Amino acid sequence: MSHPLPFKKVTTHSLAKMKAAGEKISMVTAYDYSFARLFDGAGMDVILAGDSAGNVMAGQSTTLQVTLDQMIYHGQCVARGISRALLVVDLPFG
């Protein structure tokens, strides 16, 4: 079993400090608990639950069809897998 990295939780304040110090900030997209847990454990700074979940997870042709309820669902799934990274969730277009 992997062990979590001994880093503090990433916040908007810590991201601003990283940027000011010229540190690189890592960001990746996840649509579910499993990938969020993997990415968080790997030390990603920011994890995005993007509206592209409509394309990747639901087979929709565009992100325009993604609903707020779908984004809430994907955001909740990703949030359950994160203990350190900052979570960003897209809002749907409509």
Nearest to 65 by CA among 33, 34, 36, 92: 92
Task: Report pTM.
Answer: 0.86
For 23-75, the pLDDT digits (tens) are 999 999 999 999 999 999 999 999 999 999 989 988 999 999 999 999 999 99
For residues 77-85, average pLDDT: 97
The answer for residues whose C-beta is within 8 angstroms of residue 79's C-beta and 6 or more apart is 36, 87
